[in-house]
Amino acid sequence: MKISDIERGVSVRTRVKVPIRPRAGKVRFEPEMVTFSGLCDNAEHLALVFGPSGAVPHVRVHSECLTGDVFGSARCDCGEQLNEAIMHFGACGGILLYLRQEGRGIGLYNKLEAYRLQIVNGLDTFAANRALNFPDDPRDFRVAAQMLQALGVREIALVTNNPDKAMQIAQHGIEVNRCLCTGVFANETNRSYLHAKVVHHQHSINLSGDYQ
């Protein structure tokens, strides 16, 4: 796919500075929140541009997780990863792409149904998805490449443990210069979830240490 194919019809709609106060730390940042027109799935994805982070910007592509991001659910590590990205980008610059792909693309209600299956039937996160007739991970990261193109970004350092995410973004015309791993946010509740991501999808998460 050529870059021009991605760019066609995708543009920045609005840029507005919004002061934010991260959950952890008594700090305040003022990223630019950016909205878009013409994204391939027509969802309301959001970019937070924290300012320059060198010639190759650091980018985190975060999929929405209401339970983790908003309520601090201990079943996953999403809230901690989001907060880590905000604290890092607030201090050093970077771009956070917040994708409205709740439950790895299956939606909030289905995600909670999958949680129930995990608890009642002992399935791991991917087996539970399959039991609900969803693929392991139906997310499409083309939209992230489109957002970066609209922001004028061609080359990135991607903050991720997920090799598939890096591959998909590269396939859609963004040069992924390197990947930077996130911290490890294991606890007694999410440890099997993190383990499944390592075993089934080769995520780079070192689970050999103590819980954090």
> In angstroms, what is the minimal distance from the CB of 143 to Zn ion?
19
- CA 147 vs. chain centroid, Å, equals 13
Interface with Zn ion (CB under 5 A): 65, 68, 76, 78
> In angstroms, what is the minimal distance from the CB of 65 to Zn ion?
3
Write out the H or E segment, with its range, that includes residue 180.
Answer: strand 175-180
**C-beta neighbour count of 115 within 10 angstroms:** 18
Q: Which of 60, 75, 137, 142 is catalytic?
A: 137
What is the C-alpha separation between 28 and 123, in angstroms, rounded? 40
Q: Which is nearer to Zn ion, 68 or 90 (CB)?
A: 68
Q: Which is nearer to Zn ion, 81 or 149 (CB)?
A: 81
> In angstroms, what is the minimal distance from the CB of 67 to Zn ion?
6
Nearest to 77 by CA among 167, 173, 194, 178: 194
What is the CA angle 81-83-85, rounded to 5? Answer: 70
**In residues, how long is the chain?**
212
User: Is 60 considered catalytic here?
Assistant: no
User: Is 142 considered catalytic here?
Assistant: no
Annotate 41-106 with three-state secondary structure: CCCCCEEEECCCCCCCCEEEEEECCHHHHHCCCCCCCHHHHHHHHHHHHHHHCCEEEEECCHHHHC
> In angstroms, what is the minimal distance from the CB of 182 to Zn ion?
13
Q: Which is nearer to Zn ion, 38 or 72 (CB)?
A: 72
Active-site residues, by number, are 137, 139
